[in-house]
Structures are given as C-alpha cells and as structure tokens.
Amino acid sequence: QVQLQQWGAGLLKPPETLSLTCVVHGGSFGGHYWSWIRQPPGKGLEWIGEIHHSGSTNYNPALESRVTISLDTSKNQFSLNLTSLTAADTAVYYCARGIGVVIPRFDSWGQGVLVTVSS
C-alpha cells in the first residue's frame, strides 16, 4: 500500500520561497500523477499543480507564475517550490497521488504540513 510522507519548513517570511518534499513509500512511482494541494486554515482545498512520472507538469493558472514542481525518480520523491510568499499562502500543504487515464483523481495523500507565512 502506497504511503506519502512529506516535510519542509513550517514558518517563513514574506517574500521567501516555500520548499516541500514528498517521498513515496511502498508503491510504483511510474504511471501516476503527483500533486500538491493546499488548504488555508478553516477553508477549502485548492489544487496547486502536478507532475507526471514522465516529467510533464500542469499548474493552477492562479499560482503558475510562482510554482515549480519537480521530480527525483531515483529517490521516489517530488518537490514543490512556491516563490514570493505572502500571508495568503498560509495553509496546510498536502502531497497526493493522482490516478486516472487522462486527468487524475486523488487516491493517496500525505499527512500535510502547516506552512505559516508571517513577518
């Protein structure tokens, strides 16, 4: 059974860069989409973007200018960089596995990391 474990800095200042990494245990890295999703405190879920095991990416246009998602298949891990942080980026950030033929749904999630942006 696949498990996703994520880590990264939890307290950042504007306009620093957020960096998070997610490692995949117990499942195949290939053939899937690997996404980042965030949830501001007390609010709903926002998809940030994804990377396919082939290396192709899709990003949410609302965040695209600030987001980079990368992949290290040798370590079964993928990463998120989000630049020019503001307080509005304060959220729990989740990594997730997407499965599907064309566009994925999410079947496994990391535990989440709370990232607080405050000066």
Partner 1 sequence: DIQMTQSPSTLSAAVGDRVTITCRASHSISSWLAWYQQKPGKAPKVLIYKASTLETGVPSRFSGSGSGTEFTLTISSLQPDDFAAYYCQQYHSYPLTFGGGTTVEIK
Give the interface with partner 1 as residue ranges (CB under 8 A): 35, 44-47, 58-62, 94, 96, 100, 103-107, 109-112
CB of 33 to partner 1, least distance (A): 10
Q: Residue 35 or residue 79: which is nearer to partner 1 going by CB?
A: 35
CB of 40 to partner 1, least distance (A): 12
Q: Residue 14 or residue 100: which is nearer to partner 1 going by CB?
A: 100
CA separation for the pair 98, 62 (Å, rounded) = 20
Residue 50 tokens read as 């994804």
CB of 60 to partner 1, least distance (A): 4
Would you call 65 helix, strand, or coil by DSSP?
Answer: helix
Helix (H), strand (E) at residue 116: strand 113-117
- Give, as one character, the DSSP assignment of residue 83: -
Q: Residue 86 or residue 111: which is nearer to partner 1 going by CB?
A: 111
For the purposes of burial, counting CB atoms within 10 Å of the CB of 100, is it exposed (0-12), middle (13-18) or buried (19 or more)?
A: exposed
